[in-house]
A and B are shown apart, each in its own frame.
Chain A
Amino acid sequence: MELYDESTKVVAGLKFGLLSPEMIRKISVAKIDTPELYDEEGLPIPGGVMDRRLGTIEPGVRCATCGNTPLNCPGHFGHIELARPVIHPEFAKYIHTLLRATCRRCGRLLLQPDKIEKNRKRMEALGKHWIMLKYRFAEAIQKEAASINSCPHCRAPQYKIKFEKPYIFYEERDGILVKLSSAEIRERLERIPDEDLELLGFNPKDARPEWMVLRVLPVVPPAVRPSITLESGDRSEDDLTHKLVDILRVNQRLRENIEAGAPPLIVDDLWGLLQYHVATYFDNELPGIPPARHRSGRPLRTLAQRLKGKEGRFRGSLAGKRVDFSARTVISPDPNIGINEVGVPIDIAKVLIVPEKVTPWNIEEMRELVKNGPNRYPGANYIVRPDGARIDLRYVKDLEGLAQTLKPGYIVERHLRDGDIVLFNRQPSLHRMSIMAHIVKVLPYKTFRLNLLVCTPYNADFDGDEMNLHVPQSEEARAEARSLMLVQEQILTPRYGGPIIGAIHDYISGAYLFTRKDTIFDKNSASQLLYIAGYEGDLPEPAILKPGPYWTGKQLVSIFLPDDMDYVGRASVAPASGQCDEEFCENDGYVLIRNGKLLTGVFDKQALGAEKPETVLHEIVKEYGTEKAREIMDTMFRIFIAYLDMHGFTMGIDTIEIPESAIKDIEDILRKAEEDVQKLIDQYLSGELTPMPGKTRRETLEELIMQRLAQARTEAGEIASKYLGMTNHAVIMAKTGARGSMLNLTQMAAVLGQMSIRGKRIERGYIDRTLPHFRQRDLSPRARGFVYSNFSKGLRPTEFFFHAISGREGLVDTAVRTAQSGYMYRRLANALQDFYVAYDGSVRTSEGFIVQLRYGEDGVDPARSDHGRAVNVDKIIKKVLARRGEK
């Protein structure tokens, strides 16, 4: 509440300009001219950069200017009178354009007077409403003026100005480069009249160009460059202080030399050095000059470095900060907590606190917490009295007594406990599901625990991933988190509308095995499984009565489905070639749910999978709500894991073993392919090969070879698949979509196939060959990266090398891709961050400008749409037809 009591003022506008030398002197409280910091007693020397008048940061000392203590003194600027002017490196670019666009003698803009008048009128008109256009126009004027080589006002010839980064200017007089001194540049800039500056896009009131050449340098107060006292009593100064001392030292020497009438060579040398020090004081990463270094060889961190980049003031301190009420630790899985829950280690729960107001209804409970104190869980760490005083319970002797003094209106900052709502986050936070609200469950041990189903939205695994947790402190924040950010509210992704939380890996394998036609249970195991799911109710009528009561997996699953649910769809295991659009499907792939009963079909990735739209799960979320979907994931899904445990599910070397005869068949296929490839090569060599449209003969050959070899691998895979049926656990995983693919199995059991770089066969390496093991110009599959072996047999040395090449390419590609897409995402997020959908449905910028008249042109929320459409007519018809077929 205190936040709103402060009197507030509205910022009407911001104006940026240059500081004039007069302004710098006016701001300054002290002229700084001594390079020494402290005297023998360790006291700051007046006139040194640690002058007491600039404000102090030592405790116990008062500021010599404002008389405040270090905490209240904001610090005051000083100034250095430079012996000679130097160029401000950040403005060198503008100095360059000005020098080129104005006369070197009279300072006028290099355009005919009538043209100047015309442009001025245009500028004025533009300046009224279209400021951006005004500056664009000014750029055009700059360009035009720069191209003129004789002054239209005083007839003086103009020379080409050469700008050497970061701050040196030359004039090309008759082919000879003459260096322009800063003093000369300053004089030229001074001559430019105000009216002409306006045409060049400058505002002479706030930014006279000669101010870009410094004669006076502001000295930042010690508050922004604090010195640290080491244990040994020595002082260590900030980089900026070091830099200022350097500037003062050179400045002093330069002044002495000038006064002593030293030769111009020496003066110019020192002048250059002063320029270097001033330039690096502003930016120590200027291109073209070596960075100023500390004695240890470390580059100094000067003004620009403090602001720039990820750890700089903007991205590091202002756009991102460290926060209280947060925790971070390793995550680990827990299939026994709900998807909405998060397991919080007890040690963390004792540190994170929730403020709770004492009321007549909770006063006894709060007393108990206070009695337990900060070390016994569940307890409390602080009490805030209505007068605002905080009591730290760590230092309270008589907790019992304190607990009795509790009265309604007090605030108890108690430990985190079961049922509290927290925000849980895993970086990189690429979409809104990267931060979701969970309900706390305090658990022993030291890791955050999360349900496996929420791994997908967070993109988490448990190979050492860490996650962050934040505790909302206000009632509003908690309410908002609970109703908008809770995991179950995030099941549907706004990316394409499908459920992003759903079955993965073992859940899919388990669901498939459980709903298979041949899965039946006696009363014991059926009860056991339903108990695991937390089901309390009657068993349905058993499907099999003889030789005793047996229940099918489909029956048990149906218990959890909504009673009036209808669904028609295909399973992942259904063969791709039609046929399965009817009840009789070879793999039981026709999923039919009527009146909440699973009649045919199996549950696999196409029914319950994560990131799959138009599935049974998707239907449940949309038609029956997130609460029902959550309930199913916390009950039915648990059965799948339990059943998988019961059934046993494993894979070993023998899983991918195929009979000797099959290996022979595969070898035959590969030999046949090799012969065909040789024929193609012969055709190519004899010139009989006709090129394909748009390709050279060589490209055609490569294309045909790749095709033939790909075909061979497919055939080999088919042979292997014949011996790997749906009883094979690896095949079950591949076909149901749990993990892996049939291609993976082919590579393990049959043949690896062609290794490639950038989609081509491997060609690089030695002259006309890939490895010294082959003859030059050998185009045969083996010499160009075709791997005949499989993972089960093992690879030959050359094959292994080709495989490594291909593997490395994949690795490099992913690394490059993540870096590129990460950068693109950053720029997009920064560009779009304050767009919002207004109440009238339009998308607007923070200033209220319209970006889209209607969000997405149709106003549809993709998370609640059917593939981007508000209604899916096909689906409704299908559903109605299914209903009608029931009659």
Chain B
Amino acid sequence: MPKKINVLNHVLVPQHIVLSREDAIKILKKMGIKKKELPWILASDPAARAVGAKPGDVIMIIRESPTAGKSITFRYVMPG
């Protein structure tokens, strides 16, 4: 059996963090948007699976950006 690989350890995969319900609500409130207006990510996405995200969760992604240095973005987890 092939060894299980954690995609999060790959250099090209940015940091994914599942937000708690409270944090997610706080952030959405700050941006003044509904969950569904966020970009989506499938629950079957390898990175989403690696952090154990369930449909309805919000994932925070922190990545290096050539223009902004560090950029933070969010994903709404969709079933699939």
Could you tell me the distance between the alpha carbons of A133 and B39 in the complex, rounded to whole angstroms? 16
CB atoms of A849 and B39 under 8 A apart: yes
Known contacts being A133-B79, A840-B32, A858-B65, is A848 close to B37, with CB within 8 Å? yes
CB atoms of B79 and A857 under 8 A apart: no
A766 interface hit (Cβ, 8 Å)? no
CB atoms of B67 and A858 under 8 A apart: yes
B20 interface hit (Cβ, 8 Å)? no
CB atoms of A849 and B37 under 8 A apart: yes
Chain B residue with minimal CB distance to A845? B37
Q: How far is the CB of A496 from chain B (nearest CB, A)?
A: 13
Q: Mark out the residues of chain A between 123 and 154 whose CB falls within 8 Å of any chain B CB in the assembled complex.
A: 126, 130, 133
CB atoms of B67 and A868 under 8 A apart: yes
Known contacts being A130-B79, A858-B68, A868-B67, is A850 close to B32, with CB within 8 Å? no
B6 interface hit (Cβ, 8 Å)? no
Which residues in B have their C-beta under 8 angstroms from that of A848?
33, 37
Known contacts being A133-B80, A840-B31, is A857 close to B38, with CB within 8 Å? no
Chain A residue with minimal CB distance to B36? A849
Could you tell me the distance between the alpha carbons of A848 and B38 in the complex, rounded to whole angstroms? 9
A860 interface hit (Cβ, 8 Å)? yes
B72 interface hit (Cβ, 8 Å)? yes
A526 interface hit (Cβ, 8 Å)? no
CB atoms of A130 and B78 under 8 A apart: yes
Dominant SS among interface residues on chain A: loop
Chain B residue with minimal CB distance to A126? B79
CB atoms of B39 and A850 under 8 A apart: yes
A856 interface hit (Cβ, 8 Å)? yes
Chain B residue with minimal CB distance to A858? B68
Q: Mark out the residues of chain B between 3 and 40 whose CB falls within 8 Å of any chain A CB in the assembled complex.
A: 31-33, 36-39
Which residues in B have their C-beta under 8 angstroms from that of A330?
none
Which residues in A have their C-beta under 8 angstroms from that of B78?
130, 133
Which residues in B have their C-beta under 8 angstroms from that of A858?
65, 67-69, 71
Could you tell me the distance between the alpha carbons of A491 and B23 in the complex, rounded to whole angstroms? 45
A854 interface hit (Cβ, 8 Å)? yes
Q: How far is the CB of A843 from chain B (nearest CB, A)?
A: 11
Could you tell me the distance between the alpha carbons of A536 and B52 in the complex, rounded to whole angstroms? 75
CB atoms of B74 and A857 under 8 A apart: no
Contact partner of B33 (CB less than 8 A), chosen from A850, A851, A857, A860, is A850
Contact partner of B71 (CB less than 8 A), chosen from A850, A857, A868, is A857
Contact with A along B29-66 (1 / 0, CB 8 A): 00111001111000000000000000000000000010
Which residues in A have their C-beta under 8 angstroms from that of B74?
853
Known contacts being A130-B79, A840-B31, is A850 close to B67, with CB within 8 Å? no
Could you tell me the distance between the alpha carbons of A844 and B39 in the complex, rounded to whole angstroms? 10
Which residues in A have their C-beta under 8 angstroms from that of B65?
857-858
Q: How far is the CB of A859 from chain B (nearest CB, A)?
A: 8
CB atoms of B67 and A860 under 8 A apart: yes
Could you tell me the distance between the alpha carbons of A3 and B72 in the complex, rounded to whole angstroms? 45
Known contacts being A130-B79, A133-B80, A840-B31, is A853 close to B72, with CB within 8 Å? yes
Contact partner of A851 (CB less than 8 A), chosen from B36, B39, B69, is B39
Q: How far is the CB of B68 from chain A (nearest CB, A)?
A: 4
Could you tell me the distance between the alpha carbons of A64 and B21 in the complex, rounded to whole angstroms? 67
Could you tell me the distance between the alpha carbons of A860 and B33 in the complex, rounded to whole angstroms? 22
Could you tell me the distance between the alpha carbons of A848 and B36 in the complex, rounded to whole angstroms? 10
Which residues in A have their C-beta under 8 angstroms from that of B33?
848, 850
Which residues in B have their C-beta under 8 angstroms from that of A842?
31
13 other A-B residue contacts (CB within 8 Å) besides A857-B65, A857-B67: A133-B80, A840-B32, A842-B31, A849-B36, A851-B39, A852-B73, A856-B68, A857-B68, A857-B71, A858-B65, A858-B69, A858-B71, A868-B67
Chain A residues with CB under 8 Å of chain B are 126, 130, 133, 840, 842, 844, 848-854, 856-858, 860, 868
A-B pairs, 3 with minimum CB distance: A858-B68, A857-B68, A857-B71
Chain B residues with CB under 8 Å of chain A are 31-33, 36-39, 65, 67-69, 71-74, 78-80
**A-B pairs with beta carbons under 8 Å apart, 18 shown:** A126-B79, A133-B79, A133-B80, A840-B31, A840-B32, A842-B31, A849-B36, A850-B33, A852-B73, A853-B72, A854-B68, A856-B67, A857-B65, A857-B68, A858-B65, A858-B67, A858-B69, A858-B71
